[in-house]
């Protein structure tokens, strides 16, 4: 018996993929597992191949105009999307693709406020353009390099969303203090022992003066960001 509010607010992520078992690993540990176990998010995996009306369950074909590689055809993807879209309305239908807009923390924050989203994972040489034209509301890349399929990117996006859902991380401030969440990179962190192989923890961290510690951390964040990612300060 859950709380009504939680049920109404709970985020639902539907992932369309040719490789549903891919996600057993990433969603079976750590933060996504915790979010699922705490019933703070629902993740539904859908095998695109099961929607194929071809007698051999074919999901790909040669590209018109020639070229290397196979293209994921319209029918199985359209059927899978129609199946979901007739059950509920979705805030976004996201296609993971290296030619999409690059993901960042701001975009993750915005996605995490949505109720229902679909993540479509492409494979081979991509998907038929007409699927993108008809259904897709956002095209997202996770960086300027090429992966073998959208599943890696969908797992990354789902993890980034799950970990900022309130209640997933026990110390609620910890996700908000991350690198990027305040536009700065993280300050260095230390734990015991205070001295290790002649390397000392910065004395301010042992001082007990929280104002001084916060000031030191902020300066360290600022310095690191200036040095490594000056683009974030603009």
Query: Under 8 Å CB-to-CB from 60, ≥6 apart: which residues?
Result: 70, 71, 72, 73, 123, 124
**Token pair 């078992």 in the structure block, residue:** 21
- Given the complex with ligand 6GU, which of 111 and 216 has the nearer CB atom? 111
**Rounded least distance, CB 215 to ligand 6GU, Å:** 38
**Least Cβ distance, residue 161 to ligand 6GU (angstroms):** 15
Residues near ligand 6GU, by CB under 6 A: 96-98, 141-143, 145-147, 149-150, 153
Contacts for 104 with CB less than 8 Å, ≥ 6 apart: 180
Q: In the complex with ligand 6GU, which residue's Cβ is closer, 122 or 217?
A: 122
Question: Is 153 exposed, middle or buried (CB count within 10 Å of its CB: 0-12, 13-18, 19+)?
Answer: buried
Residues 6+ apart with CB under 8 A from 161: 11, 13, 41, 108, 111, 112
Judged by CB, which is closer to ligand 6GU: 137, or 174? Answer: 137
**Shortest distance in whole angstroms from residue 153 CB to ligand 6GU:** 3
With respect to ligand 6GU, which residue has the nearer C-beta, 160 or 169? 160
| Torsion region of 74: left, alpha or beta (phi above 0 gives left; psi -120 to 50 gives alpha) | alpha
Q: Characterize the bridge pairing of strands 199-200 and 195-196.
A: antiparallel
* Sign of the four-CA dihedral 91, 96, 97, 100: positive
Cβ 107 to ligand 6GU shortest distance, Å: 13
Nearest to ligand 6GU of 81, 169 (CB atom):
81
Q: How far is the CB of 209 from ligand 6GU (least distance, A)?
A: 44
């Amino acid at each position: 018996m859950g709380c009504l509010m939680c049920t109404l607010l709970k985020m639902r992520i539907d992932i369309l993929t040719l490789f549903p078992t891919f996600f057993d690993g990433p969603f079976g540990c750590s933060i996504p597992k915790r979010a699922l176990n705490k019933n703070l998010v629902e993740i539904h995996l859908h095998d695109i191949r099961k929607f194929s009306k071809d007698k051999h369950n074919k999901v790909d074909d040669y590209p018109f105009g020639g070229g290397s590689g196979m293209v994921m055809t319209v029918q199985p993807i359209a059927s899978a999307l129609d199946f979901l879209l007739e059950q509920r309305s979705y805030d976004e239908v996201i296609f993971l693709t290296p030619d999409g807009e690059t993901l960042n923390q701001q975009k993750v924050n915005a996605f995490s406020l949505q109720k229902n989203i679909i993540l479509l994972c492409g494979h081979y040489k991509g998907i038929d353009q007409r699927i993108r034209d008809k259904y897709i509301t956002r095209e997202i890349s996770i960086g300027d390099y090429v992966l073998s399929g959208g599943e890696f990117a969908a797992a990354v996006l789902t993890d980034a969303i799950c970990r900022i859902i309130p209640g997933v991380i026990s110390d609620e401030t910890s996700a908000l203090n991350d690198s990027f969440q305040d536009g700065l990179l993280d300050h260095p962190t230390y734990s015991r022992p205070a001295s290790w192989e002649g390397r000392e923890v910065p004395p301010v961290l042992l001082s007990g003066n929280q104002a001084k510690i916060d000031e030191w951390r902020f300066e360290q964040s600022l310095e690191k960001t200036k040095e490594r990612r000056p683009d974030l300060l603009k």
